[in-house]
Amino acid sequence: MNVTIVDYNSGNISSVINSFKEVAEDKVNIQVTSDSKKIKSSDKIVLPGQGSFKSCVEALHNISGLVDTLNEFAIENKKPLLGICVGLQMFADVGFEEIETKGLGWISGKVSKINNQNGNFKLPHIGWNQLNIIKDSQIFQGVEKNSHMYFVHSYEFLPEDKNVISATTDYSTNIVCAVEKENIFGTQFHPEKSDNAGLKIINNFINL
């Protein structure tokens, strides 16, 4: 089985690569590429994202054919895809970081700045926060309900359909931190930086 981590120049993804290789051991082939042919022939895709919504969307579009390939993979062929951090946020229709930017439109909704309650909550939200699993998600199998995950973000995904939300975390408000829609999975937190609980999520995705 081939699991592809999409490298589209969106920042340092070495921790994502290392975590997936650690979990996969020699059982699964982990490849890192932006090559459309290799992505199309993959069994599963990981879409990481660091930086702003705008910069990540632009970086995707800067690689010829990549967005079309991702749409074909996830929407037409319905193969499993995991978005991490901004990788999840780009599922939305639109994001409002820097300027209004069109997203991939896979899950209807928007990405807006976290309400920091007039400065009572620091932004960016950095550090460990408790996971509130609210629906039976395949990627949370064997993950304890109140596990702590590692976050780094100032913006949150607000999906129109609340049924796609699989987990939230309490920071200023009830923030969406994981979604699942058919074959599309996303985490706002970084499983690759979340110790054993995060590695369990990676393992669950690989074994879908």
CA torsion, ordered 201, 174, 111, 140, to nearest 10 deg: 10
Q: Is 177 a catalytic residue?
A: no
Most confident of the following: 27-31, 50-54, 107-111: 107-111
Identify the pLDDT of residue 15: 95
- Higher pLDDT: 196 or 11? It is 196
d(CA 44, CA 87): 15
Domain edges within the chain = 2-206
Q: Is the pLDDT of residue 118 over 80?
A: no
**Angle made by CA atoms 188, 192, 194, in degrees to the nearest 5:** 80
d(CA 86, CA 63): 17
Average pLDDT in the 109-127 region? 89
**Given 3.20.20.70, 3.30.1280.10, 3.40.50.880, 3.40.50.1970, which CATH number is that of 2-206?**
3.40.50.880
d(CA 146, CA 139): 15
Share of residues in the chain with pLDDT > 70 (%): 100
Q: Is 190 a catalytic residue?
A: yes
d(CA 179, CA 168): 9
Question: Average per-residue pLDDT in the chain?
Answer: 95
The catalytic residue among 56, 85, 97, 180 is 85
Q: Token pair of 11, please?
A: 């920042």
The catalytic residue among 97, 156, 180, 192 is 192
d(CA 32, CA 39): 9
Identify the pLDDT of residue 162: 96
Q: Is 56 a catalytic residue?
A: no
The catalytic residue among 97, 125, 153, 190 is 190
DSSP conformation class of 191: G
Q: Is the pLDDT of residue 120 over 90?
A: no
Judge contact between 147 and 197, C-beta under 8 A: yes
